[in-house]
Structure 1
Amino acid sequence: MKDYVVKDIKMAKQGAERIEWARRHMPVLNYIKEEFQKTKPLKGVNVIACLHVTVETANLISTLQAGGANVALTASNPLSTQDDVAAALAKGGVKVYAIRGENEKQYYENIESALKIKPNVTLDDGADVIATVHSKHPEYLKGIYGGCEETTTGVIRLRAMAADGALKYPVIAVNDAETKMMFDNRYGTGQSTLHGIINATNILLAGKNVVVVGYGWCGRGVAMRAKGMGSNVIVVEVSPRKALEAAMDGFRVMDMKQAAKEGDLFITVTGDVSVIRKEHFKLMKDQAIVCNSGHFNVEIDLEDLGKMAKKVNEVKTDVMEYVLDDGRRIYVLAEGRLVNLACAFGHPPEVMDMSFANQALSVKHIVENHKKLKNEVYKVPEAIDNRVAKMKLETMGISIEKLTKEQEKYLSSWSMGT
């Protein structure tokens, strides 16, 4: 088993400096790390992490190691790896297998290499490790206590597996913790998506018609931030309730065919396949920009677009130009992959502080309780979610109100009346 596969181990110093900068903005995770160093709740536990290899992830890995875990890390997306971070982790003794721009074959080879740690706990961002174990390596199942899943797309996959009786070990849906979903997905995705788009294109967002496809927590965040930058935001949604919410939030809501005619910039955040496809490309303006901030690169049907194009050019880094038969040009960012990670740095450390605090405490929960857990998808225990929120407030210097005994009695009683 190779100790690591990275682009250039000489990049380690730069990566270490960036990891340290992020650490200073992740106070909750730092607190948990200090606690783990004292109590060693993960002593001897083998953990495989298939996550975006970023400075924030590096601090999660360091926290798990402080708790006594042996960790192998591989990328959850071919374009999200920060090569200097991978080098710094490898230099620090982590078994890391990740190179930015790796092809599909290399991507799965790296997962295979990381799996040789013989994991007791799996951490996923998209459920690729869980899928690989279930489909190719059932021999590892007996040693796995449980896993955690970080993103909406992965949770959807795992709930489908559980419903079919195919899930062979318990998984905690870290994505569904309120201190993850409401903050990471909304504020993290909202800010980092626009950061990626601006990095790749340097376009002015003010005055643009920005079409946000999907109005979950990620879509809410993107729409909110685009509106704040002066964009005219259009929301495309399939859920009547979410569409109604978007309308009440002040956004124009319409179907994709109508939006395709009006949009200057399209951002997909649905977790579903082919939400922008041939029938929509036919209607788009010249020089429309299309990008994705959902986990997998399936939301924009690039196969359709490729067949429609008479010429495809890379006009600048991370920007592909598709020239159609009628001369219209459609620009696709980051090959339809996560634009916030491929073209920028991903979520800010302040929001990943909460997400990865949930991850670390959920790993501890799995190790301590795995014998009681069934092969189901669990929510993060409410006590963990509340603890993370409380710690975050404390690090921000915010105090909150407490119920009096009279108030507690009133809320728990049916007999006190009005």
Structure 2
Amino acid sequence: MTTGTKSIVTDMALAPDGHLKIDWVQAHMPVLNRIREQFEQEQPFKGLKVTISLHLEAKTAYLAKVVKAGGAEVTITGSNPLSTQDDVCAALVEDGITVFAKYNPTPEEYKELLIKSLESKPDLIIDDGGDLVSLLHSERKDLAVNVRGGAEETTTGILRLKAMEKEGKLGFPMVAVNDAYCKYLFDNRYGTGQSVWDGINRTTNLVVAGKTVVVVGYGWCGKGVAMRAKGLGANVIVTEIDAIKGVEAYMDGFAVMPMIEAAKLGDFFVTVTGNRDVIRGEHYKVMKDGAILSNAGHFDVEVNKPELEAMSSSKRTVRRNIEEYQLTDGRKVYVLAEGRLVNLAAGDGHPAEIMDMTFALQAMSLKHVNDAYESLGKTVVNVPYVLDEQVARFKLESLGTSVDALSDEQKAYLDSWDEH
């Protein structure tokens, strides 16, 4: 591990490869490029310190460079031990960004790197899963003295933020980027849908067509995973706790049943719930020999590994990012990427064009919270619709197209109660 004047990364010699990755995604992120031009002119973060905790790969790196272009002093760390790319970290250091991150740190190292990233006492934060916010409200309150607010990337993080808000413990405004239209309609659905199967296919090198895929949870991420599985030729089963989503999955053409029934049928399992223990001991007892388990939720708690280990006579790594558990009755069950985010821990994450929209929202939301933090209150804040729509318009323009606009007469008609 290389320790510089400020940064802590694995190996600075990896920087050339990291620059190539960042250059590639930059060429495919036209919306963020446009916002970068605005930031360079307006300097909205001049004199401010920004700490970012996201899955630290090339697309995230380019977001950090865009925030820096807006005048900020940027510090960045990872949000998952297995998604950090060491070459990208090294490249960012050369680009003048302070980095505290490495691939596969121990839990103790991971926490220490998070804390190091906050020691600049940031004015603004971008969080993924709520780890930064949690630290700033617990053992390291001293590092929150300058925080004006921030933006949160994920469903899991927003759940944590809303729990804090409900208890009156949230100390500053946080924008719920995950709940914006241009996040969940595209990132959660098309991004997760593609990147999950990129990760599974790369890791297993097995065919999906003709197999039975069990998608656990039918939120926007689950919709995307199920849609892509169907496109690969799989028979798809959806499990849910929400009856409305269950009906939706059924009408989308998928089988719907309780998990204890689906567990008997699945060849591949993908969890996308944000909750814990959605695959557990009772399910392992009835699974097929050779069942493959993966998770696309933020934390590695959706697949209960302790119960699986307790039911196993042996465990071994049979391929990169594949652990084989041999159950006491001889059946084998496989877990991908240690039950962590399979699309990032065993892949490159969402496509660049998808993250272009999400990270454009992040950048604009960060500017919004900085402009209005005194009036926003210590609450979870929705992304203003005007920002959501602006990102969509920028996206359409980058595709060489546009949408219609209402005429004055149409606007007046919609605003009137008189149908004539």
Q: Assess same fold via TM > 0.5.
A: yes
1:99-110 superposed matches below 5 A: 99-110=102-113
C-alpha separation in 2, matches of 1:416 and 1:285: 61
Deviation (angstroms), 1:185:
0.5
State the shift of 1:94 in Å. Answer: 1.0
CA distance in 1 between partners of 2:144 and 2:103 (Å)? 29
1:150 matched residue in structure 2: 153
Quote the residue 2:325 is aligned against.
322
Query: 1:206-285 counterparts in 2 under 5 A?
Result: 206-285=209-288
Name the residue aligned to 2:92: 89
Whether contact under 8 Å (1:141, 1:169) holds in the other structure is no
Residue 140 of structure 1 and its aligned partner are, at CA, apart by 2.9
1:187 matched to 2:190? The reply is yes
SS of the equivalent of 1:270 reads coil
Preserved contact between residue 119 and residue 143 of structure 1 (Cα < 8 Å)? yes
Counterpart of 2:341?
338
Match of 2:14 in 1: 11
Task: Please give the secondary structure, in 2, of the residue aligned with 1:408.
Answer: helix
Shift, 1:2, TM fit: 4.7
Report the Cα distance in structure 1 between the residues aligned to 2:65 and 2:345, rounded to whole angstroms. Answer: 24
Aligned residue runs from structure 1 range 121-136, under 5 A: 121-136=124-139
SS at match of 2:150: strand
Inter-partner Cα distance in structure 1 for 2:326 and 2:145? 52
Q: How does 1:382-397 map to 2 (within 5 A)?
A: 382-397=385-400
Alignment correspondent of 1:23: 26
1 CA distance for matches of 2:204 and 2:141? 45
| Offset, 1:181 | 1.0
3-state DSSP of counterpart to 2:116 = helix
- Cα RMSD of the aligned pairs, angstroms, is 0.9
3-state SS of the aligned residue for 1:109? helix
Q: Distance in 2 between matches of 1:79 and 1:276?
A: 21
* Aligned-pair CA distance for 1:93: 1.7
- Give unmatched runs, 5+ long, in structure 1: none
Aligned pairs, how many? 417
Q: Take 1:314 and 1:405, find their aligned partners in 2: how far apart are those partners?
A: 65
Measured in 2, the distance between the counterparts of 1:100 and 1:253 equals 38
Alignment correspondent of 2:296: 293
Distance in 2 (CA, whole Å) between partners of 1:76 and 1:131 is: 13
Deviation per residue, 1:141-162 (Å, 9 max, x gap): 3311001100011001111110
Q: Is the 8 A contact 2:289 2:331 kept in 1?
A: yes
Deviation string 1:371-398 (CA, Å, 9 cap, x unpaired) is 1111100111111111101100100111
What residue is the counterpart of 1:114 in the other structure? 117
Structure 2: which amino acid aligns with 1:34?
E
Give 1:376's aligned residue: 379
Separation in structure 1 between the aligned mates of residue 268 and residue 31 of structure 2, nearest angstrom: 36
Q: Which residue of 1 is the match for residue 166 of structure 2? A: 163
TM-score by length of 2: 0.98
- Give the letter aligned to residue 303 of structure 1: P
**Counterpart in 1 of 2:177?**
174
1:360 is the counterpart of 2:363:
yes
Q: What's 1:98 paired with?
A: 101
Q: Give the counterpart of 2:401 among 381, 392, 398.
A: 398
Q: What does the per-residue CA deviation read over 1:332-370, in whole Å, with 9 as the maximum and x for residues that have no partner?
A: 000000000011100011010011001111111111111
TM-score (norm 1): 0.99
For the 8 Å contact 2:119–2:143, the answer to whether it is kept is no
After TM superposition, the structure 1 stretch with the greater mean CA deviation from structure 2, 275-284 or 368-377, is 368-377
Letter matched to residue 172 of structure 1: V
Q: Secondary structure at the match of 1:203?
A: coil
Local SS of the residue matching 1:366: helix
State the Cα deviation string for residues 45-100 of structure 1 (Å, max 9, x = none).
11110111011001100100000001110100000011110110012221111111
| Aligned-partner Cα distance in 1 for 2:336–2:141 | 37
Give secondary structure in 1 for the equivalent of 2:381. strand
- Give unpaired runs (5+ residues) of structure 2: none
Give deviations 1:247-287, integer Å, cap 9, x for gaps: 01000000000000000000000000000000000010000
2:81 aligns to what?
A: 78
